[in-house]
Amino acid sequence: MYVFHNGHLSALAISGAILGGCLSSSATASGFAVPELSTAGIATANALVANPVERGAVPYNPAAIAFHDQSWLSAGSLLIGPTFSVDNASGSHDSAGADWLVAPMIQAAIRINERWSAGLSVNAPFGLETRWKTETFPPLTGSIQLPPPPLGPGGSVPASPQPTQSNLEIIDFTPTVTYAISDELAVALGADIYWAKSATLNSSITQLEGDGIGLGFNLSALYAKGPFSAGINFHSSSTIKVDGSYSALNPTMVLIGALQPSQTAELDLDLPWRLQLGARYELTPALAVEFDWTRTGWSSFEEIQVKGDLNGATLFADVNDWDDANAYRLGMTYQLQEQTQLRFGYSFDETPQGDAHFSARVPDNDRHLFGIGVGHSLGDGWQLEAGYMYVMFLDRNYRSAKPYLGGSDINGTDAINGDYEANAHLIGLEVSKSFDAF
């Protein structure tokens, strides 16, 4: 039940549900991560951190550049088609998000001399897109009658803010430098320059839009001798300072003090650290198998706090309390012909999101990832690659015993009880061209 103070709704009570669970998960990996950084990565389910051969392995381990004889440039696109739905007390509902999302996949490798190399990757390692219609969750539907004059303004206001559109587009520019310690061992150091191109977190009564920049670093190493290779890659955590605008869509709720007025706002978005370990073995000259383990530090994603620029007011504060999560990845490459390579992959990714703070913004759960693809040499240094991945979420039959108390945060409450299903289709297309080195 909402609380009245001097005939007004409590602003604190309603603010907790404005953007509840605004960043919950993505379509392809745990949390809101998108680990598909190249077309070869899509096909091998991202098991590439120990691969010294493929150009598409460089975004997963920049130290691999030291094992390439030539400089090269690669450009492509990742297409993501997610589907989310929930069955609850009011029936079956589908998320009304975009049919297909597009992300860049650009890589460059420059051989400076026998020891030194430089690289650049441009990709989208984090992202989010979902939209729910306002009648999806029955406990959040309806209105509250306000006291008539002279005690109040009369009329009605929405009973609860409905989670509607959630969109997050983050581009990572990753310049790196690689040093070959020996013919068998190389190390790399680089920067992660995160650009939150778009952050849109809307409800039925508010809008929040903005963009921002964050900085991090990455370290990697790769050892390769004979048929065996092993790699490690680490990306630090980072905080993106998102600056934007907060808009109150219901003037009556501003008038009675239930919502803050429209104003500019700030959000600190914490991105997790990522650690990847991998080992690869060439069973035959044509067939190679790789196993990777990835640990993502989602425990750093503890709280979302939006502050307005009017008197430094806190417009929203939400505790996420996610856990660190693992992913287990198996990839295989098979050289069908001298010019043609087939690729296959499987991954199991754990969710960091427990029931205590479960969010309907995009319901997250453990998932299976299946990849397949091909790389084909066109001659004269040109290479064409294509990959497809199917992401199958485990069904999440969410039932909470925590009652929804009107204006409190909807995350982890019975307001969003339901049976959630999700899947996604990913397509990668990429073309690359090699050049003579130094």
Q: What is the dihedral of CA 169, 330, 225, 296, to 10 degrees?
A: 40
Tokens for 105? Answer: 């996949």
What is the C-alpha separation between 186 and 386, in angstroms, rounded? 28
Residue 253: strand, helix, or coil = helix
Mean pLDDT confidence for 34-50: 97
* Domain extent for 45: 4-435
User: What's the CATH number where 210 sits?
Assistant: 2.40.160.60
pLDDT-derived band of residue 130, with 50, 70 and 90 as boundaries? confident
Q: What confidence tens digit (pLDDT) does each residue in 268-315 have?
A: 889 999 999 999 999 999 999 999 999 999 998 777 778 888 877 777
* DSSP letters spanning 383-415: EEEEEEEEEEEPPEEE---SPP-SSS--TTSGG
User: pTM of the entire structure?
Assistant: 0.88
- Residue-wise pLDDT for 181-201, tens only, equals 999 999 999 999 999 998 887
In this structure, of 98-112, 230-244, 255-269, 419-433, the range with the lowest mean pLDDT score is 255-269
């978005």: which residue's tokens? 269
Q: Are 384 and 378 in contact (CB under 8 A)?
A: yes
Beta strands in 181-285 (DSSP E): 185-203, 206-225, 228-235, 238-248, 263-271, 274-282
Q: In whole angstroms, how far apart are CA 232 and each of 34, 35, 150, 197, 293?
A: 19, 15, 68, 29, 10
pLDDT-derived band of residue 19, with 50, 70 and 90 as boundaries?
very low
383-386 long-range contacts, CB within 8 A, separation 24+: 383/55, 383/431, 383/432, 383/433, 383/434, 384/430, 384/431, 385/39, 385/40, 385/43, 385/56, 385/76, 385/428, 385/429, 385/430, 385/431, 385/432, 386/39, 386/427, 386/428, 386/429, 386/430
Q: Does position 169 have pLDDT exceeding 70, yes or no?
A: yes
The mean pLDDT of the chain is 86
Q: Would you state the pLDDT for residue 150?
A: 75
* One-letter amino acid for residue 4 of the chain: F
Residues 42-59, mean pLDDT to the nearest whole number: 97
Per-residue pLDDT tens digits for 360-371 = 776 788 999 999
Residues whose CB falls within 8 Å of the CB of residue 103, separated by 6 or more in sequence, listed in order: 34, 77, 78, 80, 123, 124, 127, 169
| Residue 227 in this model has a pLDDT that exceeds 90 | yes
Cis peptide before 150 (omega within 30 of 0): yes
Output the six-digit token pair for 111: 């051989």
More confident residue, 157 or 39: 39
- Rounded Cα distance between 121 and 65, Å, is 12
Q: What is the pLDDT of residues 305-347, one digit of tens each?
A: 788 888 777 777 666 778 999 999 999 999 999 999 999 999 9
Long-range CB contact pairs, 139-143, < 8 A, 24+:
139/404, 139/414, 139/415, 140/17, 140/404, 140/410, 140/415
CA 248, chain centre distance (Å) = 27
Task: Quote the number of domains for the chain.
Answer: 1
Residue 425: pLDDT band with limits 50, 70, 90: very high
pLDDT higher than 70, residue 22: no
Q: Cα(207)–Cα(378) distance, rounded to whole angstroms?
A: 49
Higher-scoring residue by pLDDT: 17, 78: 78
Q: What are the CA-CA distances from residue 396 to residues 84, 86, 359, 364 (Å)?
A: 11, 9, 12, 8
In angstroms, the Cα distances linking 7 to 3, 105, 176 are 9, 55, 60
